[in-house]
Amino acid sequence: MERDDLIQDNNYSVSANHDEAHGVVIRKKIWKVTGILTLITVIEVLIGAFIKQYDAAGEDNLLWPYVKVGFLVLTVVKAAYIVLIFMHLGDERKSFKWVILAPYILFIAYLIFICLAESTYWYEVFQGENSINP
């Protein structure tokens, strides 16, 4: 007996094939994204090499918190391009896209929150004003 789920599977796989004309369009998009990712990396390295975390006197650079947020934003932009374009998640059905993204984003947001809240507490215990360290 032939398994109809395997026949279906094969249909999905074969339906992903495309012709030469469509290939030209896709390749153009790929090179565009390559340019964007390279540009972002270059910007990140330049910022990292030239904007210092501390000034000449060893004091905190007041710009640094904004630089930090900027790094995080650039990272998430890069990640979005990789996942949605290179991994083609943007081309899948919307339901599948959210089955992958929603649980992950929820869990990680929770994990980041709980770890930062906890380590803020431990920072107070170890290095704060009333720390246990002499």
Residue ranges binding other proteins (CB under 8 A): 4-5, 8-10, 12-20, 23, 26-27, 30, 34, 37-38, 41-42, 44-45, 47-49, 52-58, 68, 71-72, 74-75, 78-79, 82-83, 86-88, 91-93, 95-96, 99-100, 103-104, 107-108, 111-112, 115-116, 118-120, 122-123, 126-127
Q: Are 69 and 38 in contact (CB under 8 A)?
A: no
Q: Report how far Cα 61 is from the mean position of its chain's Cα atoms.
A: 26
d(CA 35, CA 39): 6
Question: Closest separation between CB of residue 85 and other proteins, Å?
Answer: 8
Lookup result for tokens 């540009």: 39
* 3-state secondary structure at position 134: coil
Question: Closest separation between CB of residue 74 and other proteins, Å?
Answer: 8
